[in-house]
Structure 1
Amino acid sequence: MTTAPAAPDPTMEAIGRAVAEGRTGDVLSARRKLLDLWTEIGVTGDPLHRCSLAHYLADLYEDPAQALAWNIRALDAADATTEQRAQEHHAGLRIAGFYPSLHLNLADDYRRLGSFDAAAEHLDAAGEHAPHLPRDAYGDSLRTALHEVAEAVSRRDTGRRPSAPGPTG
């Protein structure tokens, strides 16, 4: 998005800093910071905060079972996030745009765990939400990942995708 947030949000800023740290290679520190934030937010805290944090934290786990737990939390929090809350954070943000990525991540986790039927269900859900993807590099990357995961499911492949976000082992 190109528009600025409606107001500073210290929690989202802290999440962003931890995510950036994880992307530069300090996965353990980033994970610790996000887990500390999760404790502060709490399981009934702001759903936008919980969704964002859980979504990014899942990427910091190589183990698909651990990632799955966080991706389920992210989807549950997205379901509790209102459009009004999303737009309070960022005027152009739409919660519907979260679902392709959330379902993609769940499909990939289930696939890696060998639960191919569950993976296919989430691929279908991601496909239903795919029209909400932007026509840009981000949207293209998600469409590509959806195709990769679908192909891996059809092959019954449980290996990690080379293009998957997060640590590599």
Structure 2
Amino acid sequence: MAIQLNDIAIRGPLPEVPTELPVFLVHTPSLEERRPAIDRFRSLLKLDKFKTVDEDGSIFFENGSAGVQFYRASGSLWAENGRADADFPDERRPWRVVDEPDRDNPKNKKFVLPDEERKRLVQQAKNLFAEAGLLSPEAHFSGVALGV
């Protein structure tokens, strides 16, 4: 016998709906407002000679495998430097890492940043975002972790 929705009776008090609710006006930063951050990232990525690719949802400022992308809908930025890989013989970087048991698979280990290294990289990232004008007092910086 299949259970029908009417076979289940759930009863409880209805929630109180407030008579007033706050309304927030959110402003999406324009390309011109993001220009100082774009210029800072372009400088860091050494994008002296770059091409601009204008698409429906975003604008790319790129030079080979490095670039900065501005998303129109949100005003967010994506900066990437694929050329940095050429500076290293493999995927390892000069950060100190330690291995610890993998919670998802206890038979394996994974590489993680020690607390002092993580804190140093977090501060470095915060400084970069502050220089670019992207770190507001309301923002929460979630941290830095090794990619998998």
Structure number with greater CO (CA < 8 Å, separation at least 6) is 1
TM-score normalised by structure 1 residue count:
0.23
Specify which structure has the higher proportion of strand.
Answer: 2
* Larger CA Rg, structure 1 vs 2: 2
TM, length-normalised to structure 2 = 0.25
The structure richer in helix per residue is 1
